[in-house]
Amino acid sequence: PRAAALAALMRAAGGGRRCRDPSGGARVRWRCSAAPPQPVIAAKEPFPVELKAGKTYGWCACGHSKRQPFCDGAHKKEAPGLSPVRFTPTEDGPAWLCGCKRTRTPPYCDGSHKGDAV
């Protein structure tokens, strides 16, 4: 029932074309014809920032923002399909936000920029 409901929602949203998926799940249109959008590396080191508790931030996940590490909406034109990561810290203080966009703990740096992929 969930796959059928997802397929109906996709058709209603204009994503009626489906691709074969061996697992039986529905697939999104852009996954059929091309690779999913990938973020660009904004920096090969993390961004040190001062965060305020209770304030919601939008971390740039695409790498195109001119206001790194925060989103400025550039993903809408440069990387449709990628969205910022919205987060609200629970404590005031310093943080290291990922600049390479490869972290496994977004928006926080996990050292991925030290790997071969960056």
User: Does residue 18 fall inside a structural domain?
Assistant: no
The pLDDT tens digits along the chain (118 residues) read 566 666 666 666 554 444 444 444 544 444 456 677 889 999 999 999 999 999 999 999 999 999 999 999 999 999 999 999 999 999 999 999 999 999 999 999 999 999 988 9
From CA 84, how far away is CA 98, in angstroms rounded?
A: 13
- Domains: count for the chain: 1
User: Does residue 4 fall inside a structural domain?
Assistant: no
User: Does residue 5 fall inside a structural domain?
Assistant: no
User: Does residue 60 fall inside a structural domain?
Assistant: yes
Per-position DSSP letters for 62-96, written without gaps between them: SS--TTTTB--STHHHH-TT--PEEE--SS-EEEE
Give the pair of three-digit tokens for residue 45: 């080191």
pLDDT of residue 37: 84
CB contact at 8 A, 80 and 58: no
pTM to 2 decimals? Answer: 0.71
Domain that holds residue 63: 47-114
